[in-house]
């Protein structure tokens, strides 16, 4: 366990998580206007389809996969007990990662190649795409070289991640990992670190409440059943409409 390991696997994660929490909350409260997916489909739609669709569907699946391995490592190990099922899982994950990589490549080509998209691009946009791309390539290399990731992730990395969240970081296992894996872990925390400063905040405001709400939305600044009621007192506190 070198000092570098301690820095990368103990300090960095905590810095990333604290900055992530503080940053996103601050950004939401102070400059909510900046919470946006910043869609650029209005300026260019065709390449976006070949980029955004494979990227997002793939990344959703991969995120879900990592989350399941983090939350239910035992189930994953049990699932992998059967070689066929292990193979299905690994191949599916690999394909999703390829889809993400393809999508990212298209998004990157579009971002730097199209004059209109360049007009609405920040350095952060390019940085995020590069970071995600590096992360995906690392993931693919790991999956190819160190089989089978779904099993050893559940066995060694889940305990490490849990130790972080339990405030008792135990980095013995990760320190012994190959450097490819180490880079992948560092990449993950860098992405978390970048969320508050980039458009990635859109992931935090995914509009799932749309599913339950009625289609039409009418907002009274004042409660209509009370506004003409002489019994109700006048107040300067405005009901908020957000």
Partner 1 sequence: MDIRAQISMMFHLDKCIGCHTCSVACKNIWTDRKGAEYMWWNNVETKPGTGYPTKWEDQDVYKGGWKTRGQDITLRGAGKLRGLLNIFHNPHLPVIDDYYEPFTYKYLDLIESPAQDDQPTARPVSMITGKPIDIKMGPNWDDDLSGTPDFARRDPNLANLTPAEQEAMFQLEKMAFFYLPRICNHCLNPACVASCPSGAIYKRGEDGVVLINQKVCRAWRMCVTACPYKKSYYNWSTGKSEKCILCYPRLEAGHAPACMHSCVGRIRYLGVMLYDADRIQEAASAPEDELVDRQLDMLLDPFDPEIIAAAKANGVSDSTIKSAQLSPVYRFVKEWGMALPLHPEFRTLPMLFYVPPLLPVMASVSEARAADQKSKMAPMAKKWEDDWLYNTSTEELWGTIDQVRFPIQYMANMFGAGDGARVTEVLKKLMAVRIHRRDVTVGDMKPAKVKATLADVNLTPEQADEIYTLSTLARFDQRFVIPPAHREQAIEMLDFTGDAKGSVGFGFREQPARGN
Report the interface residues with ligand HEM, using CB under 6 A: 37, 39-41, 48, 52, 56, 59, 63, 107, 111, 125, 128-129, 199-200, 202-203, 206
* Between 162 and 202, CB nearer to partner 1: 202
* Residue 85 interacting with partner 1 (CB under 8 A): no
236 binds, among ligand HEM, partner 1, none (CB under 5 to 8 A by kind): partner 1
Are 38 and 199 in contact by the 8 Å Cβ rule? The answer is yes
* Residue 220 interacting with partner 1 (CB under 8 A): yes
What is the number of the residue whose Cβ is closest to ligand HEM?
Answer: 39
* Residue 104 interacting with partner 1 (CB under 8 A): no
In this structure, what token pair is assigned to residue 25?
A: 């909350």
CA dihedral (113, 119, 123, 125) positive or negative: negative
* Residue 232 interacting with partner 1 (CB under 8 A): no
- CA distances to 12, 95, 99, 212 from 57, rounded to whole Å, are 29, 11, 8, 23
Considering only 45, 71, 78, 144, the residue that binds partner 1 (CB under 8 A) is 45
Are 194 and 200 in contact by the 8 Å Cβ rule? The answer is yes
The whole-angstrom separation of Cα 77 and Cα 100 is 25
226 binds, among partner 1, ligand HEM, none (CB under 5 to 8 A by kind): partner 1
Contacts of 227 (CB under 8 A, 6+ apart): 220
The whole-angstrom separation of Cα 90 and Cα 86 is 6
Nearest distance from residue 188's CB to partner 1, in Å? 21
203 binds, among partner 1, ligand HEM, none (CB under 5 to 8 A by kind): ligand HEM
* Residue 230 interacting with partner 1 (CB under 8 A): no
* Between 39 and 232, CB nearer to ligand HEM: 39
* Between 62 and 171, CB nearer to ligand HEM: 62
- 3-state DSSP call for residue 62? helix
210 binds, among partner 1, ligand HEM, none (CB under 5 to 8 A by kind): partner 1
Tokens 């909510």 -> residue: 32
The whole-angstrom separation of Cα 173 and Cα 220 is 57
């Amino acid at each position: 366990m070198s000092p570098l390991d301690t820095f990368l696997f103990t300090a960095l994660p905590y810095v990333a998580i604290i900055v992530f929490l503080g940053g996103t909350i601050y950004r939401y409260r102070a400059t909510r206007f900046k919470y946006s997916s910043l869609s650029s489909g209005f300026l260019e739609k065709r390449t976006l389809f070949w980029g955004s669709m494979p990227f997002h569907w793939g990344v959703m699946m991969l995120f879900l996969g990592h989350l399941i391995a983090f939350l239910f490592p035992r189930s994953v190990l049990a699932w992998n007990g059967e070689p066929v099922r292990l193979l299905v899982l690994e191949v599916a994950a690999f394909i999703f990662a390829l889809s993400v990589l393809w999508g990212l490549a298209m998004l990157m080509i579009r971002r730097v190649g199209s004059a209109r998209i360049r007009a609405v691009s920040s350095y952060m946009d390019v940085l995020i795409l590069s970071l995600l791309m590096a992360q995906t390539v690392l993931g693919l290399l790991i999956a190819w070289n160190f089989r089978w990731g779904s099993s050893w992730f559940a066995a060694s990395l889940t305990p490490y991640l849990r130790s972080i969240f339990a405030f008792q970081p135990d980095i013995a296992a990760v320190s012994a990992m190959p450097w490819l894996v180490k880079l992948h872990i560092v990449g993950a925390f860098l992405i978390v670190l970048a969320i508050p400063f980039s458009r990635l905040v859109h992931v935090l405001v995914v509009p799932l409440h749309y599913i339950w709400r009625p289609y039409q939305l009418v907002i009274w600044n004042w409660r209509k059943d009370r506004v003409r009621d002489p019994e109700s007192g006048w107040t300067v506190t405005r009901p908020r409409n957000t």
